[in-house]
């Protein structure tokens, strides 16, 4: 009996076929608008050099490597300590603790650190006191202090950090143990999904973003050994290495900081695509902007703090490619892309036509990235909001670019200190 082709395989083939077709359509559109090929290339040169190769890697490279990758064999025997820092998380702490306790992995220790909560977080966590290690400390103003406090009580070989508004899959810790049975792996990122994706339009956009940017993006970075951020919401690191690094430094962006320090000691950092976790995302635009401003202020601060990693052969690919690529694509391109396009628009006799071409090219890249995501993810329902890619292109990403620019500029002018 012939095996029925999976949706992922059908979309993968469709995406490969569409690649030359869509490029030809752009060239035909250019001819219809009576623009020279040279003009088209110069207009889109930045995109062709920096953006489109990434799209092609997601269309061709990632789907192939994912299909050739051997399934992870579930192993056990490694003791894992899970640290859950919590500050005023009475609404979510119970679900978080229960998701960890319900993990089938037997060799686990659950540590909850109440970091000076003024609500019922500690009282709710106390219900599980017989099954967890519950710690309480005064308000610290830094998440890193809570993590280090929990680290003192950790007995496992591997430390997993889970935010209090996050829940993990029932087999999450088993996958962690499987990956860390490889002695060369030092740190690993879990695969985050959005827990409250159905709340409103904004959470749906973030749900799609998490799969495309955080899942697919981290798979690609992990493939090239340039994964620079193990998210604090759900990440794992060997305790011996973490202790040798002095634990978490009291900084905003402690997850980025410790990942860069792991790379400096030449530890292998990977992405665990099967290790799923679900986290709550902001449901209002105001909260979303506050979160993203905090993220990107810490991002540029950590890049400045670890500027000695740039272009250093001794730090391997993370130093030669990873950090420079993040600086270029996340920060410098915020100015280069619009400045390049704006120059051509201002010097053209018909800027509307040129803008249409640029928009078409980015729409093609966004569409192909969406198809690539569908062809890679294990569960197609994770990409159920793929049809929102036009909104991502026309609204979400431009607004996000402005937020990032404001964040970087603000941090350079006046560094911040907050949880």
In the chain, domain spans: 7-70+316-413, 80-311
Predicted local confidence at residue 419, as pLDDT: 44
CA–CA gap between residue 226 and residue 248 (Å, rounded): 21
Residues facing 238 on adjacent strands: 158
CA–CA gap between residue 22 and residue 360 (Å, rounded): 10
Strands 234-238 and 133-137: unpaired
Strands 185-194 and 108-115: unpaired
Predicted local confidence at residue 45, as pLDDT: 86
Read off the pTM.
0.90
CATH architecture of the domain formed by 80-311: Alpha-Beta Complex (3.90)
**Dihedral over alpha carbons 122, 126, 130, 134 (to 10 degrees):** 10
DSSP labels, 154-183: --SSEEEEE-TTEEE-TTHHHHHHHHTTST
Predicted local confidence at residue 2, as pLDDT: 42
Tokens encoding 389:
């890619």
Residue 120 DSSP SS3: coil
Q: What is the pLDDT along the chain (419 residues), one digit of tens a residue?
A: 344 458 888 999 999 998 888 888 877 877 777 777 777 788 888 888 999 999 999 999 999 998 888 777 766 689 999 999 999 999 999 999 999 999 989 999 999 999 999 999 999 999 999 999 999 988 766 899 999 999 999 999 999 999 999 999 999 999 999 999 999 999 999 999 999 999 999 999 999 999 998 899 999 999 999 999 999 899 999 999 999 999 999 888 899 999 999 999 988 999 999 999 999 999 999 999 999 999 999 999 999 999 999 999 989 999 999 999 999 999 999 999 999 888 888 877 778 888 888 888 899 999 999 999 999 998 888 999 999 999 999 999 999 999 999 999 999 998 775 44
CA–CA gap between residue 417 and residue 296 (Å, rounded): 13
Predicted local confidence at residue 7, as pLDDT: 84
CA–CA gap between residue 275 and residue 273 (Å, rounded): 6
User: How many other CB atoms are found less than 10 A from the CB of residue 22?
Assistant: 18
CA–CA gap between residue 111 and residue 85 (Å, rounded): 8
Predicted local confidence at residue 74, as pLDDT: 67
């Amino acid at each position: 009996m012939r095996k029925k082709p999976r949706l992922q395989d059908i979309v993968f083939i469709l995406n490969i076929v569409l690649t030359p077709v869509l490029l030809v359509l752009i060239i035909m559109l250019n001819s219809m608008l009576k623009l020279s090929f040279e003009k088209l290339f110069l207009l889109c040169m930045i995109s062709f050099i920096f953006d489109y190769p990434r799209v092609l890697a997601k269309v061709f490279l990632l789907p192939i490597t994912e299909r050739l990758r051997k399934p992870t064999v579930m192993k056990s025997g490694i003791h894992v300590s899970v640290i859950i820092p919590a500050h005023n998380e009475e609404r979510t702490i119970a679900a978080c603790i229960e998701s960890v306790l319900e993990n089938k992995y037997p060799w686990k220790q659950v540590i909850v650190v109440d970091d000076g909560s003024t609500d019922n977080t500690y009282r709710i966590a106390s219900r599980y006191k017989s099954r967890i290690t519950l710690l309480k400390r005064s308000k610290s103003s830094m998440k890193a202090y809570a993590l280090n406090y929990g680290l003192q009580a950790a007995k496992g070989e591997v430390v997993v950090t889970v935010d209090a508004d996050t829940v993990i899959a029932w087999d999450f810790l088993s996958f962690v143990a499987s990956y860390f049975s490889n002695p060369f792996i030092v740190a690993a990122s879990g695969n985050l999904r959005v827990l409250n994706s159905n709340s409103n339009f904004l959470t749906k956009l973030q749900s799609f973003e998490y799969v495309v940017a955080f899942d697919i993006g981290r798979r690609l970075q992990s493939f090239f050994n340039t994964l620079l951020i193990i998210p604090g919401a759900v990440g794992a690191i060997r305790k011996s290495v973490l202790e040798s690094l002095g634990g978490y430094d009291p900084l905003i962006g402690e997850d980025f900081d410790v990942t860069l320090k792991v790379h400096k000691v030449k530890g292998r950092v990977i992405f665990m695509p099967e290790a799923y976790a679900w986290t709550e995302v902001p449901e209002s635009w105001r909260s979303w902007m506050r979160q993203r401003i905090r993220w990107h202020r810490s991002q540029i601060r950590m890049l400045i703090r670890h500027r000695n990693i740039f272009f250093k052969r001794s730090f391997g690919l993370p130093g030669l490619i990873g950090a420079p690529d993040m600086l270029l694509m996340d920060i410098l391109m915020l100015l280069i892309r619009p400045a390049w396009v704006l120059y051509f628009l201002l010097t053209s006799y018909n800027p509307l036509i040129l803008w249409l071409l640029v928009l078409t090219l980015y729409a093609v890249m966004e569409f192909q990235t969406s198809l690539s995501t569908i062809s890679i993810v294990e569960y197609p329902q994770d990409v159920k909001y793929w049809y929102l890619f036009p909104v991502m292109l026309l609204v979400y990403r431009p607004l996000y670019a402005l937020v990032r620019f404001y964040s970087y500029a603000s941090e350079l002018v006046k560094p911040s200190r907050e949880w």
